[in-house]
């Protein structure tokens, strides 16, 4: 077992996954890299940060990212987010631009999205670890199988969740979501390479809140 603290609600839902051979392989792979002094992000205690910050029972929205940031001090286990005091990367800057255009929110002084996660916005990266300075270096070690199972569990056991899929990679996760039971918002990725192809102007932040309120659920305060 991976010695990671995970919120009890998630532990119950995902218990079977933690005992499967592929999950044991993930653990073995990370341990072997650490044994050869590879630097892996985020730090061990933050690998399941999204799960611990957004308990299963409080989940309202799922925003799917791809890979943790691979620069020193950037990744902290929440998709698109960086810790306080770290300069927001370009994709996050574009997210903030869309927030301003959509709901008039002034540019935040931090790129730390923990306040969203604490309100039920599950910031899930499809791959939960990365080697320093090597993007997608852990893309094939088994994480995708795990996070696909996570998305499926949410889709099966919940109702009325807003799934936010930005970019082609996230769009592929739609196969795990029953659109008659949940809401799916799709747009281009906020990366500078694609933001002007449909991310800017998507108005997802106001749409998320409209959908939540339509379900009788309190909206997200997007201020940071």
- List residues with catalytic annotation: 67
Closest CA to 117 of 5, 4, 224: 224
Cα dihedral 113, 27, 176, 6 sign: negative
Query: Rounded to whole angstroms, how far apart are CA atoms 179 and 213?
Result: 18
Contact present, 38 and 127 (Cβ < 8 Å)? no
Contact present, 4 and 44 (Cβ < 8 Å)? yes
Quickly count helices (H) and strands (E) in the chain.
Answer: 8, 6
Contact present, 79 and 51 (Cβ < 8 Å)? no
Contact present, 137 and 127 (Cβ < 8 Å)? no
């Amino acid at each position: 077992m991976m010695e990671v603290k995970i919120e009890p609600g998630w532990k119950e839902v995902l218990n079977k996954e933690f005992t499967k051979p592929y999950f044991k392989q993930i653990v073995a792979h990370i341990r072997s890299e650490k044994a050869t002094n590879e630097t892996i992000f985020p730090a061990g205690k933050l690998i399941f940060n999204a799960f611990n910050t957004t308990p299963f029972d409080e989940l309202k929205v799922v925003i799917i990212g791809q890979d943790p940031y691979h620069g020193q001090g950037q990744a902290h286990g929440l998709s698109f987010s960086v810790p306080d005091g770290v300069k927001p990367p370009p994709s996050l800057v574009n997210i903030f631009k869309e927030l301003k255009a959509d709901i008039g929110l002034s540019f935040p002084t931090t790129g730390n999205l923990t306040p969203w996660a604490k309100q039920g916005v599950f910031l899930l990266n499809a791959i939960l670890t990365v080697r320093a300075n090597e993007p997608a270096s852990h893309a094939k070690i088994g994480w995708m199988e795990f996070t696909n199972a996570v998305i499926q569990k949410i889709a099966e056991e919940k109702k009325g969740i807003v799934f936010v899929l930005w970019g082609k990679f996230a769009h592929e996760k739609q196969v795990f979501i029953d659109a008659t039971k949940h809401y799916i918002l799709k747009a281009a990725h906020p990366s500078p390479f694609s933001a002007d192809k449909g991310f800017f102007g998507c108005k997802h932040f106001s749409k998320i809140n409209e959908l939540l309120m339509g379900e009788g659920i309190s909206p997200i305060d997007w201020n940071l």
